[in-house]
Amino acid sequence: MSGHWEFWIDRGGTFTDVVARTPEGELRTAKLLSANPLHYRDAALAGIRALLGVAPGATIPAECIGAVKMGTTVATNALLERTGEPTCLFITRGFRDQLRIGYQNRPRLFDRRIVLPEMLYSAVEEIDERIGARGEILRPLDLEDARAKLAKCHAAGFHSVAIVLMHGYRHPQHERALAQAAREIGFPQVSVSHEASPLMKLVSRGDTTVVDAYLSPCLRRYVDGVAAELGSVRLMFMQSSGGLTAASRFQGKDSILSGPAGGIVGMVRTAQAAGFDRIIGFDMGGTSTDVSHFNGEFERAFETPVAGVRVRAPMMSIHTVAAGGGSILSFRQGRLQVGPESAGADPGPAAYRRGGPLTVTDCNVLLGKINPAIFPHVFGPNGDQPLDVGAVRAGFARLARQMADELGEPERTPEDLAEGFLRIAVENMANAIKKISVQRGYDVTGYTMNCFGGAGGQHACLVADVLGMQRIYVHPFAGVLSAFGMGLADVREIREHQFAADLANGAARDVVARLGTEAQAAVERQGIAPDRISLIETAHIRTPGGHQALPVPFGDVAAMRAGFDAAHKARFGFVPDYDGLILDVLTVEAVGETGEAVRLPRGTGGAPDAITPMFAEGAWRDVPLIDRASLVPGVTVTGPAVIFEPTGTNIVEPGWAAHTPDGADLILERALPLQRAEAVGTRVDPIMLEVFNNLFMSIAEQMGATLANTAYSVNIKERYDFSCAIFDSRGDLVANAPHVPVHLGSMSQSVRTVLAQNEGTLKPGDVIMMNNPFNGGTHLPDITVITPVFEGGEIAFVVASRGHHADIGGTTPGSAPPDSTH
C-alpha cells in the first residue's frame, strides 16, 4: 500500500460517489448531491473532507493524500445545456455553413416538428486560403486579413477560437500559422483541427475542434479550482477513452464520457478479478440504462454523436436506452409503452408521495421486489415516510380499468399489468444489449453479465433470460462502480494517424514507431516508469471505397489481411471480395499500469433470513429476504429470493440461484433450464403486441446498421438514405426501423409485386432487386432488395431494404428527368 489516502470519485449530474482507500487498505464510500450550495461549493471536495474527518471549508491536508482520481460530467453538462465558452470558428472560405449542413442526415426522421441542434460556435470567420488534398497550395493564406479577423473577434469578447481548414489534418501549415497569430493576439483557448482530430472528414474533424474550444475553458476552470484546494496532491482525471491523464492534460473533447468510462473500467476489472473475461455491462439507473461489451479488449467508438454534435475522439463504446427506474408507463392507442419519458427525481415515481406517474420502479414496488421496510424512509412532507404502496396499487388499478374499457376485455389485476410493463421494459433493455453484441456478431449466451447501478439488480435475471445468458456477477461496490473504476484505471495515451494507403505500404511501420514513441513519452511524463508501460498497435482496415474500417492488431500484411477477413465475417456474416485493402488509420495506445490490489469487504454471516411476499411468474409467493452482508461461502440461495444491500436490491428470480464464492462477490446462475415455448394465442394482447413490436423493430434496426456499415454509396453510408423492414408472406408490412418514411410507405407494393409475379417459383436463397416506379419504386437510384425467408418449403416472411445509390444510369443524370410526365 502507498501509506497515503487515495480518493476515487465519480462526479455525476445528480450524485457524486466517492470511494476512499485508507492507508491501511480499507475501503470507505460516501454519496453526496452534486449540487448543494447551502452546504458546500464542490461535492468531490466535500466528500474528501468528510471521509478524512476534516471540517467543511478547512484546508485539506495534502500530505495525507497519495492521489485523487476523478471522472466528471462538468463538460458533458455544459454540452447538453449549451453553457460552454462562446467560440468563434475560423474555416476555409466557402465552407462557413459546412458544420451546420453536416452530412444531410436527420437522426429523428419521424418527428413532424424538426428542431435543429444549436451550433456550438457563436460566430464564423472565413479565411482566404486553400490547400489541396495532395498538399498543393491552391490559394495562399492571407495572414494579414486573418490577423484582422482574429483581432476583431478578440475585441468582441471572444476568448476561444476553433481553427478548421480544408485538408488541415494532413497539411497543417496554414492552421499552425493561424494558431500562432491567435495566441499572439491573446486568445487563451486555441483549438486546431490537426491536433484535436488529425483524421480525414471535414465535418467530424470540425465538430470535434469546436467541441474542444467550447468545453475546454469551463473544464479548465473546474480542474484548476479542484487543484487549488488539493495543493500538491497528484490529481488525475478519467478520459472518455477509459484512461487516466494528469489534470494539466485533460481536454474538453476527451471528457464527454468521463464518468461512464470509469464504470466500464470498473465493470471489466472487477469481473476479470472474479475470473470472467467475456462480459456484458448492465448499468441501470433512474433515467436510463447503459450497456457495454467486453471480449478481451476495451471497445471504443472513434466517432460518436453527442447532443447533436459529431465528436471524433476515442470514447468507450456505450449504448444508452431510455429505460430506467423512472421511465413512465402509459397506455396509448392500444399499446402499453415504457418511456422514453422519465419521472426524474421530482416528482419521481408514484411511490415517492409527490403525485408522480407510474414508472418501472412502481412495478417493482407493487410486485414486492422493492421492499418499503428496507428502502430509506425519506418521503412525505417531513421526509420520514416509506414508499407509498397504496398509491401505486391504486394507479395500476385505474390503468387496468382504462385498458378494459378501451379494449372491451376483462379487467386485469394490478399485478398482471405491472408484470406486463416490466416485461416490456426488460425487452427494451435486452434489445439494447443486442445492438452492442449480437448486431456485431457476438453470441452472448457464453458471456457473464456484470450488473451495477442503482436499479440493475432488480432486473438482471429477467434481462439475462431474454438473452439466454446463464451467469450474472454483482460486485460489492456495484452501487458506486463508476467511482470504484477510477481507482482501477491505468494511465493511457492514444495517438492516431490518417494513413489511407495500400495495406502493403511499408511506410506504415515507421508511422507506428513514431506514434508509439510519442504516446509512451506522454505516459512517462505523468510519472509512470518505462517498465510499466505497454503499447497496443492497431490498424483500421477497410475495402477500397468502403466506409467501415475494422480494427485489427498491426503486424505483417498476411496477418492483418486474415484479421480483417475474420473481423468482417464475425461482424457482417461474410467476407467481401476485394482486389486490395486500405490501411485507413493507424493508432497506438500506451498503457501505464497504476492499479494496486484492493481488499474487499467480506460477508459476516449469522443474520437470520426474513420472509417477504413477492409476485413472480403470475403468483404471489413468500420468499427469503436476505441481507447480502450475511452471505458466506458455501451457502446457496435458491430463487425466488430478495437480496438487499446498502446500495441496491438484487432479485433472484425463479429458476436462478445465488452464492458468494469468497464472501465478497455475488454470483447468480441459471439453476433450471429456461422454458422458452410460449403460446401467444390469437387474442390481441397489448403486452405481447408491444413485446413483438419492439422485437421486430430491433431486427429491422440491425438490418439497417449492417447496411450502413457495408455500403459503398455515400448516400447510404453517410446520409443514411435507406430503409429496412419486415413483411409477412402476403407482402404486408409487419415492422420497420425508424428510417425514411417515403420508402416505407411504398415498399409493401414492391414486395407484393415480387410475390405475385414469381408465385410458385421463388426458392431459398433467391434475392430480387427492383426500382420500377410503377410497382412501389420511389425514384431510379432507390434500389429495393427483397429476400423471402422460407420455413418448411413455404415463405414465412420477407425482409426488404431500399437504398439510394449515387447514380445508376437513365436517360439523364440524377433521379428525375426534366421531361417526365408521370
Domain ends where: 189, 223, 257?
223
CB 497 within 8 Å of CB 585: yes
1: pLDDT confidence band, cut at 50, 70 and 90?
Answer: very low
Q: What share of the chain is helix, strand, coil (3-state, %, to 5)?
A: 35, 30, 40
pLDDT the model gives residue 600? 65
What is the Cα–Cα distance from 309 to 307, expressed in whole angstroms?
6
C-alpha cell, 259: 464518468
CA distances from 473 to 450, 469, 618, 669, 712 (A): 5, 12, 27, 9, 41
Strand, helix or coil for residue 623: strand
Would residue 468 count as lying in a domain? no
**Location of C-alpha cell 474555416:** 91
Radius of gyration of the CA atoms of the chain, in A: 28
How far does CA 757 lie from the centroid of its chain? 45
Q: Give the per-residue pLDDT at 603.
A: 59
What residues have CB less than 8 Å from 376, skipping those under 6 apart?
none
Residue 816 has pLDDT above 70, yes or no: no
514 belongs to a structural domain: yes
pLDDT tens digits along 497-533: 999 899 999 899 999 999 999 999 999 998 888 989 9
- The count of domains in the chain is 3
More confident residue, 272 or 595: 272
Asked if residue 790 belongs to a domain, the reply is yes
| 409 in any annotated domain | no
Query: What is the extent of the structural domain holding 197?
Result: 80-223
Domain boundary among the residues 163, 189, 223 is at 223
Contacts for 578 with CB less than 8 Å, ≥ 6 apart: 543, 544
pLDDT of residue 810: 65
**Cell numbers 484479421 label which residue?**
563
pLDDT, residue 437, reads 79
% of the chain with per-residue pLDDT over 90: 45
Whole-model pTM? Answer: 0.80
Same domain, 713 and 583: no
Q: What percent of the chain has pLDDT over 70?
A: 93
Q: Which residues of 223-249 are buried (b: 16+ CB within 10 A; e: fewer)?
A: beebeebbeebbbbbbbbbbbbbebee
Q: How far apart are CA 318 and CA 296, in angstroms?
A: 16
Give yes or no: residues 578 and 704 share one domain: no
Task: Please answer whether residues 244 and 594 qualify as being in contact, where contact means their C-beta atoms are separated by less than 8 angstroms.
Answer: yes
Burial of 139 from C-beta contacts in 10 A (0-12 / 13-18 / 19+)? middle
Cis peptide bond N-terminal to 340, omega within 30: yes
The residue-averaged pLDDT of 222-250 equals 91
User: Has residue 396 been placed in a domain?
Assistant: no
| Secondary element (H or E) of residue 119 | none
Among residues 196, 223, 250, the one where a domain terminates is 223
Mean pLDDT, to the nearest integer, of 93-108?
Answer: 84
Q: How far apart are CA 262 and CA 8, in angstroms?
A: 10
Report how far residue 563's alpha carbon sits from residue 553's, in angstroms, rounded to the nearest whole number. 8
**Cα–Cα distance between 83 and 78 in angstroms, integer?**
5
Q: What is the largest CA-CA distance in the chain?
A: 87
Point out which residues pair with 504 in neighbouring strands.
Answer: none
Instruction: Give the residue among 234, 233, 230 at the shortest CA–CA distance from 244.
Output: 234
- Tell me the pLDDT tens digit for each residue of 626-658: 988 888 888 899 989 999 888 788 999 999 999
Instruction: Tell how far CA 119 is from the center of its chain.
Output: 22
| Residue 186: per-residue pLDDT | 93
Can you name the residues that pair with 472 across neighbouring β-strands? 449, 668
Same domain, 103 and 208: yes
Asked, for residue 193, whether it belongs to a domain, the answer is yes
147 falls within a domain: yes
**Cα dihedral 434→284→425→614 (10° resolution):** 130
**86 and 219 assigned to the same domain:** yes
The length of the chain, given as a count of residues: 822
* Residue 761 domain flag: yes
User: What integer is the mean pLDDT of 173-188?
Assistant: 96
Query: 328 to each of 336, 356, 363, 636, how far by Cα in Å?
Result: 11, 9, 11, 36
Q: How far is Cα 98 from Cα 78, in angstroms, rounded to an integer?
A: 23
Contact 725, 737 (CB under 8 A): yes
pLDDT digits (tens, 9 = 90+) for 317-347: 888 777 778 888 988 877 888 877 888 767 8
Q: What is the DSSP letter of 36?
A: -
pLDDT tier at 77, thresholds 50, 70, 90 = confident
